[in-house]
C-alpha cells in the first residue's frame, strides 16, 4: 500500500532532500512551504524519483492554513501515514540586537509551526489509532550556542512539548508514534537567506553534513518511530553527551569560539534578502534546491548514522523475534487454560471390572448413595436381581413384600419404608468381600456360606448386635410355616 507523507519546509534543505528520498520509495508526498518556485521544483524532483507529489503553499505559522493543507492531502491521497515537521527560520544576531517582532516570528515558524503540524496530524491519526510524526530537531536543542537565541529556544521547546505528547499517547495506549531526529550542522540554503546582522557571512559550525545524510536519518526515524530520539552525526552525539557531563566547560568554550566559528571570512552584503517575512524562492528561477554553498566542505555520509542504523535494525529484529515468542507462549498458555476450563470431562462406558476408569462403578455408586445405571437398565436390574433383603427372606421363608420392622426406616438405605417392589437397586453381582459393602452392617444376612461372625458382625456396636440377634430370633423357620 502506498504511504502518504506530509513534509513541512519541503522546498529546500532537509525537507527537500527528505521529500526526494520518500519519492524514491514511491510514496505520495505532500509538500508544504511558502516559496512557490521552490515547491514546484521539489514536486518535480519527487516525481522524477518515482513518487507522486502535491505542493501546497503554506505558512506553518498559520494553523488554519496547516489544517486546510492536511485536509487537502487526505482528500487527494487518503489517510496521512507520516508527518514530518522541518520548517524553520532564524536570525543570526546577539539577542539584544533582535527586535521583539523578529523573535516572535522565529518562534511562530520554528516552534509553533511544529505545534500546528503536530495538531493537524494528531487530529487525523488518533481516531484511526495509527500514524507517525517525526520532528526534525537539532543538537542545539540540547546545547544552545551564541548568536542563535531564537532558534535554540525553539529547538529546546520542540523537545519539551514532544516529550509531553509522547507520554500522553503512551498513557492512552495509542498506536500513534512521535519521535525526534537531532541533527548536526547541515549544508542547506538557510545560510544564504536567514536574516543576519553579523559582519561576515554566516556558516554552520563544522563538521558539516550534506542534507541527504540528514534525510536518511529522517526516513530511518519514520520507519523506527518507537525510539524516542535519533541522533545523526558524530558531532551531534558529542555535543549532547558533553552537555550532559560538562555544560559549564562548554559555556566557557563557546564564549571564546562561538562567534568566529559561525562566520566565514567573507563580508556579508547589507542588501541581501532574507526569508523571515517573505519567501526568497517565490519568483520563477529562484529555487535554491536542497544544498547550500558548502558542498566542498560537507560530508556525504556519516559512519555514526550507518552504525546506529545497523544496531537499531539488529535490535528491532531481536525485539520482533522476542515479542513473537512471547505472543506464542501467551496464546498457548491462555488457549490451554481455556481448554482446561471449558472442555467437558469425557465419560467412558461404565464397566464394573474396569479399574482404570475414573467413572464410578456400580459398587462405588452404592457406597455414595447414587445410582449411575441408566433408567432402562435400572428397571431390568430390579426385575432380575434380588436384593440382599430378598436373599435373606427367601432363605427364611418370610414374605419378601412385607417391609422389615425397623421403626419406619429401611436399614439398607436409611430412607422411609418402601412398599411393593419399590426397593433400591443392587449390584449385578454380590461383592467378594464384606469390607467394601456397608449394607452388611444392617440386619441382613450375609451371603450363602457365611455366618454372621465371619461376615464381620463383630465390628458392630453392642446395640446393633442386639438388634440383629432379636431379628434373627423373630424370623420364622421352615417348621413354623403352615404350608409345609
* Cell of residue 195, nine digits: 536574516
* Helix spans in 78-111 (H): 100-110
What gap in Å lies between CA 27 and CA 7, rounded to an integer?
Answer: 12
Question: Alpha helix (H) ranges present in 198-261?
Answer: 211-223, 234-257
| Cβ partners under 8 Å of residue 85, min gap 6 | 8, 9, 113, 114, 117, 118, 133, 134, 135, 136
Buried b (16+ CB within 10 A) or exposed e, 264-298: eeeeeeeeeebbbeebbbbeeebbbbbbbbbeeeb
Q: Is residue 292 helix, strand or coil? A: coil
Tell me if 291 sits within 8 A of 187, measured CB to CB: yes
The dihedrals phi and psi of 8, each to the nearest 5 degrees, come to: -90, 155
Tell me if the bond preceding 52 is cis, omega within 30° of 0: no
Of residues 111, 114, 142, 151, which has the active-site annotation? 151
- 132-138/185-186 β-pairing: unpaired
Taking the C-alpha atoms of residue 251 and residue 255, their distance in angstroms, rounded to an integer, is: 6
Which three cell numbers, joined as nine digits, stand for 65? 492554513
- How far apart are the C-alpha atoms of 114 and 128, rounded to whole Å? 21
The answer to whether 151 is a known catalytic residue is yes
Task: Give catalytic residues, as residue numbers.
Answer: 151
Amino acid at each position: 500500500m502506498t504511504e502518504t507523507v506530509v513534509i513541512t519546509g519541503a522546498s529546500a534543505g532537509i525537507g527537500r532532500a527528505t521529500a526526494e528520498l520518500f519519492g524514491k520509495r514511491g510514496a505520495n508526498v505532500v509538500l508544504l512551504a511558502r516559496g512557490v518556485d521552490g515547491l514546484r521544483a521539489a514536486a518535480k524532483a519527487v516525481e522524477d524519483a518515482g513518487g507522486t507529489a502535491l505542493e501546497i503553499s503554506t505558512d506553518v505559522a498559520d494553523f488554519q492554513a496547516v489544517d486546510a493543507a492536511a485536509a487537502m492531502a487526505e482528500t487527494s491521497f487518503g489517510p496521512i501515514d507520516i508527518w514530518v515537521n522541518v520548517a524553520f527560520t532564524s536570525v543570526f544576531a546577539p539577542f539584544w540586537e533582535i527586535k521583539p517582532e523578529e523573535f516572535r516570528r522565529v518562534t511562530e515558524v520554528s516552534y509553533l509551526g511544529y505545534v500546528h503540524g503536530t495538531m493537524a496530524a494528531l487530529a487525523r491519526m488518533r481516531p484511526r489509532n495509527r500514524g507517525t510524526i517525526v520532528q526534525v530537531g537539532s543538537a542545539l536543542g540540547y546545547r544552545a550556542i551564541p548568536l542563535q537565541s531564537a532558534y535554540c529556544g525553539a529547538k529546546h521547546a520542540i523537545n519539551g512539548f514532544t516529550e509531553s505528547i509522547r507520554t500522553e499517547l503512551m498513557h492512552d495506549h495509542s498506536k500513534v508514534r512521535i519521535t525526534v531526529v537531532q541533527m548536526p550542522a547541515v549544508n542547506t540554503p538557510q545560510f544564504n537567506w536567514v536574516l543576519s546582522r553579523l559582519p561576515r557571512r554566516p556558516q554552520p559550525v563544522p563538521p558539516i553534513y550534506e542534507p541527504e545524510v540528514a534525510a536518511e536519518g529522517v526516513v530511518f526515524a519514520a520507519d523506527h518511530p518507537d525510539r524516542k530520539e535519533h541522533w545523526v552525526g558524530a558531532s551531534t552525539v558529542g555535543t549532547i553527551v558533553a552537555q550532559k557531563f560538562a555544560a559549564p566547560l562548554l559555556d566557557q568554550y563557546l564564549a571564546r569560539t562561538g562567534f568566529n566559528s559561525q562566520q566565514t571570512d567573507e563580508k556579508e552584503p547589507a542588501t541581501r534578502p532574507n526569508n523571515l517575512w517573505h519567501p526568497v524562492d517565490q519568483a520563477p528561477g529562484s529555487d535554491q534546491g536542497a544544498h547550500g554553498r558548502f558542498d566542498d566542505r560537507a560530508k556525504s555520509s556519516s559512519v555514526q548514522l550507518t552504525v546506529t542504523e545497523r544496531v537499531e535494525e539488529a535490535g528491532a529484529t531481536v525485539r520482533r523475534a522476542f515479542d513473537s515468542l512471547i505472543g506464542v507462549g501467551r496464546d498457548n498458555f491462555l488457549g490451554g487454560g481455556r481448554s482446561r476450563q471449558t472442555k467437558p470431562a469425557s465419560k467412558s462406558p461404565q464397566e464394573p471390572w474396569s479399574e482404570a476408569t475414573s467413572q464410578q462403578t456400580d459398587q462405588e455408586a452404592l457406597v455414595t448413595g447414587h445410582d449411575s445405571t441408566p433408567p432402562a437398565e435400572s428397571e431390568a436390574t430390579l426385575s432380575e436381581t434380588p436384593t440382599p433383603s430378598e436373599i435373606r427372606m427367601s432363605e427364611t421363608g418370610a414374605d419378601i413384600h412385607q417391609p422389615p420392622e425397623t421403626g419406619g426406616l429401611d436399614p439398607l438405605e436409611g430412607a422411609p419404608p418402601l412398599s411393593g417392589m419399590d426397593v433400591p437397586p443392587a449390584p449385578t453381582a454380590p461383592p467378594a468381600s464384606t469390607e467394601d459393602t456397608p449394607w452388611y452392617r444392617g440386619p441382613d444376612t450375609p451371603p450363602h456360606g457365611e455366618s454372621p461372625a465371619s461376615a464381620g458382625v463383630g465390628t458392630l456396636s453392642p446395640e446393633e448386635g442386639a438388634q440383629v440377634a432379636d431379628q434373627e430370633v423373630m424370623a420364622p423357620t421352615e417348621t413354623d410355616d403352615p404350608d409345609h
